[in-house]
Amino acid sequence: MTVTITSVLASIVCVAALRWAWGFLNWVWFRPKRVERCLRQQGFAGKPYRVLVGDWKESSDMLLEARTKPIGLSDAILPRVMPFLHHMVKDYGKNSFMWIGPKPRVNIMNPDQIRDVFMKINEYQKSTQLKPLACGLASHKGEKWAKHRKIINPAFHQEKLKLMIPALYESCSEMINKWGEVVFVDDRPCELDVWPYLQNLSCDAISRTSFGSNYNEGKRIFDLIKELTDLTIHTIQRAIIIPGYRFLPIQSNRRLKANDKEIKASLKALINKREKAMSAGEDTKNDLLDLLLESNLSEIQAHGIQRALE
């Protein structure tokens, strides 16, 4: 009886090990090669697949090399910020693919093909790798995507965007005034690194146009989003080599989840505060948050509470 149980357990372990080994080989070699063959048959060109790393190392090396070289004011920006993509398009054409680990990334630049991808929302599914960074419309699929797009769309009509010009003007004026304080000192030539100012300008302008009078809370949210972006990129880079990396109980993953939780809580607090103000009959602020709430309210009144923006 003992021998029989031992044999059964050994058989189960062997089957499990073989199944795991086959799954690993399929993930790391067989499936990528099948996908590569399929892409080439459809007219896409690219480098041959290399086990696990794909084109990641070459892409990283080219990026580091590009950043060590000076760039002129009239130089093309693409070879600087995305050198590997520029190299792929130059050598393999506008319909090409590159390897991010064992997964291909397909590049298409034909407007008709791009439109076809965007129109077939149920066929071309979105990656979950960027969660929680790319949540909302960027990650929704199918009917949920269509519903959210319908609610968000009115906020980006030309007449609505014109209402945000004063906020954008204020942000730009503040930045230029800061430049003036640095440059025009003692009438001496001054070299100014504008990159940090442009980063702050983006954050400042989006905070003003999105949250209006709740500008300071908006800046805090964007500071958290900036950190969340860095953490998400770090996680994606590690996940290419270590499957399931984002599920490991390590400090960076805990911080990522904490940031995501704080961002959602802050946004909910802002939304609740603005909804109470609207219910009390206060004037609208003409910022993005008000426009979205008005659009969402119209959908609720027209189609019921199930149409509300989640």
Q: What is the pLDDT of residue 235?
A: 79
User: Does 211 fall in a domain?
Assistant: yes
Q: What is the pLDDT of residue 3?
A: 57
Q: Indicate if 135 and 283 belong to the same structural domain.
A: yes
Q: Which of 90, 119, 148 is the last residue of a domain?
A: 119
* pLDDT one-digit tens code per residue, 279-293: 777 776 677 777 788
* pLDDT one-digit tens code per residue, 39-85: 999 999 999 998 878 888 888 888 888 888 888 878 888 888 889 99
Q: Indicate if 47 and 69 belong to the same structural domain.
A: yes
Mean pLDDT along residues 232-252: 76
How would residue 277 be classed by pLDDT, with cut points 50, 70 and 90? confident
User: Does 206 fall in a domain?
Assistant: yes
The tally of domains found in the chain comes to 2
Q: Indicate if 175 and 211 belong to the same structural domain.
A: yes
Q: Which of 119, 154, 172 is the last residue of a domain?
A: 119
Q: Indicate if 222 and 105 belong to the same structural domain.
A: no
Q: What is the pLDDT of residue 33?
A: 92
Q: Indicate if 136 and 245 belong to the same structural domain.
A: yes
Q: What is the pLDDT of residue 268?
A: 87
Q: Indicate if 225 and 165 belong to the same structural domain.
A: yes
Q: Indicate if 110 and 184 belong to the same structural domain.
A: no
User: Does 7 fall in a domain?
Assistant: no
CA nearest to 277, candidates 291, 290, 295: 290
Residue-number span of the structural domain to which 238 is assigned:
130-310
Q: Which of 89, 119, 149 is the last residue of a domain?
A: 119
User: Does 152 fall in a domain?
Assistant: yes
Q: Indicate if 140 and 267 belong to the same structural domain.
A: yes
User: Does 13 fall in a domain?
Assistant: no
Q: Indicate if 72 and 187 belong to the same structural domain.
A: no
We report the CATH number of the domain holding residue 177 as 1.10.630.10
How would residue 36 be classed by pLDDT, with cut points 50, 70 and 90? very high
**Residue 130 scores a pLDDT above 70:** no
User: Does 14 fall in a domain?
Assistant: no
User: Does 15 fall in a domain?
Assistant: no
Mean pLDDT along residues 97-125: 84
Q: Indicate if 81 and 143 belong to the same structural domain.
A: no
Q: Indicate if 186 and 288 belong to the same structural domain.
A: yes
Between 26-35, 42-51, 68-77, 204-213, the lowest mean confidence (pLDDT) is in 204-213
**Which percentage of the chain shows pLDDT scores above 70?**
86
User: Does 201 fall in a domain?
Assistant: yes
Q: Indicate if 304 and 169 belong to the same structural domain.
A: yes
Q: What is the pLDDT of residue 307?
A: 46
Q: What is the pLDDT of residue 208?
A: 82
Integer Cα distance of 211 and 274 in angstroms: 10
Mean pLDDT along residues 157-175: 85
Q: What is the pLDDT of residue 41?
A: 93
How would residue 37 be classed by pLDDT, with cut points 50, 70 and 90? very high
